[in-house]
Amino acid sequence: MTNLVTPRQTFRVHETIWKEFQKKCAAKGYSASEVLRAFIMAVVKGQFNIETLKPTKTAKGQSLSSDDLILQWLQQRQNN
């Protein structure tokens, strides 16, 4: 039997956003990795349209944002 090891992938996300994401996943009983894998599979299967997220493009090494802007963004998202 072949040992199928899933390779580790990396991406950049602001620490504040990542922690909030982890909390929301855990509150529903899932790990962040489980939710991300499910999301990726939904995109690959055509069950989710990426354009609905309006992704922000960033260059390698570019700062994603300041803590104040991230916290403002989180508050706005929670109020909507």
35 located within any domain: yes
Are the C-beta atoms of 25 and 31 separated by less than 8 Å?
yes
Q: Is the pLDDT of residue 1 over 60?
A: no
pLDDT value, residue 67: 61
pLDDT value, residue 2: 60
3 located within any domain: no
Domain that holds residue 33: 15-55+63-79
Q: Is the pLDDT of residue 20 over 80?
A: yes
Structural domains of the chain, count: 1
Q: Is 41 helix (H, G, I), strand (E, B) or coil?
A: helix
4 located within any domain: no
CB burial string 10-44: b at 16+ within 10 A, e below: eeeebebeeebeeeebeeeeeeeeebeeeeeeeee
> Which pLDDT band, with edges at 50, 70 and 90, does 80 fall under?
low
| Helical spans, DSSP H, in 1-80 | 15-27, 32-44, 67-79
**Digit-coded pLDDT (tens) for 46-62:** 998 888 877 777 677 66
21 located within any domain: yes
22 located within any domain: yes
Q: What's the predicted TM-score (pTM) here?
A: 0.68
41 located within any domain: yes
